[in-house]
């Protein structure tokens, strides 16, 4: 399933060969492992000049959909559609060390979360289950997509957040998600 495309602005990602990243994830509920960056059930393709994982040639593939009433009947059926999500440039912030995060006051913790949450490009990720980066780095943070704050359905588990990372060379990317 095509989830979206992300412009790779030179201001954020430097002089890399790619100008656009395309995010895909398996949409079959019977398939497990869509959260794993190396599981083969998600992909980010960088164009031009990026390395693409093996894929099956298709004229048209699964897309984001919304549920609409069936023509005759009381049930809902999926209909392919397009949405736009407003992404803001993330702010890099100094992360407290893991052993210091529990000593934050309630107000400090709330302010910390406000800085990191939401849909954004770049900045610092707001991990739900602890810091998790794909292997083979170093990676730059590309995108954070909160499934509870987008106008379409994407299965990142229970109120999950997706995280995309791009290589320093800008020719490959990885995706993972975490849920609460």
- What proportion of the chain, given as a percentage, has pLDDT over 90? 15
Residue 34 has pLDDT above 80, yes or no: yes
- What proportion of the chain, given as a percentage, has pLDDT over 70? 79
* Contact in structure between 121 and 140 (CB atoms under 8 Å): no
Give Cα separations from 89 to 9, 62, 68, 119 (angstroms): 11, 29, 33, 9
The pLDDT assigned to 102 comes to 62
CA distance 152 to 130: 26
Total structural domains within the chain: 1
Kindly indicate the confidence band of residue 84, based on its pLDDT and cuts at 50, 70 and 90: low
Q: Which domain holds residue 122?
A: 2-178
* Contact in structure between 164 and 150 (CB atoms under 8 Å): no
Rg (CA), the chain: 17
Q: Quote the mean pLDDT of the chain.
A: 80
Kindly indicate the confidence band of residue 74, based on its pLDDT and cuts at 50, 70 and 90: confident
Q: What is the pTM of this model?
A: 0.72
The pLDDT assigned to 122 comes to 84
Question: Under DSSP, is residue 27 helix (H, G, I), strand (E, B) or coil?
Answer: coil
84-110: average pLDDT: 64
Residue 87 has pLDDT above 60, yes or no: no
Give Cα separations from 146 to 17, 19, 40, 149, 179 (angstroms): 27, 23, 21, 5, 10
91-107: average pLDDT: 64
In 73-119, beta strands by DSSP E = 76-80, 88-89
CA distance 23 to 42: 8
Give Cα separations from 142 to 20, 55, 137 (angstroms): 11, 22, 13
Q: Could you report how far apart the first and last alpha carbons of the chain are, in Å?
A: 23
Residue 11 has pLDDT above 80, yes or no: yes
The pLDDT assigned to 163 comes to 95
* Contact in structure between 96 and 105 (CB atoms under 8 Å): no
């Amino acid at each position: 399933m095509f989830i979206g495309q992300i412009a790779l602005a030179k201001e954020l990602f430097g002089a890399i060969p790619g100008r656009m990243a395309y995010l895909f994830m398996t949409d079959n509920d019977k398939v497990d492992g869509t959260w794993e960056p190396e599981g083969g059930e998600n992909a980010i393709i960088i164009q031009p000049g990026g390395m693409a994982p093996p894929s099956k040639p298709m004229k048209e593939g699964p897309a984001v959909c919304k549920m609409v009433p069936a023509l005759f009947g009381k049930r809902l059926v999926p209909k392919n559609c397009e949405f736009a999500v407003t992404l803001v440039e993330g702010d890099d912030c100094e992360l407290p060390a893991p052993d210091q995060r529990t000593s934050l006051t309630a107000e400090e913790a709330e302010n910390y979360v406000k800085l990191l949450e939401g849909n954004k490009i770049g900045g610092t990720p707001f991990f739900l289950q602890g810091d998790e980066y794909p292997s083979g780095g170093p990676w730059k943070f590309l995108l954070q997509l909160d499934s509870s704050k987008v106008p379409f359905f994407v299965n990142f588990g229970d109120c999950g957040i997706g995280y995309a990372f791009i290589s320093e060379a800008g020719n490959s990317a990885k995706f993972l998600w975490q849920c609460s």
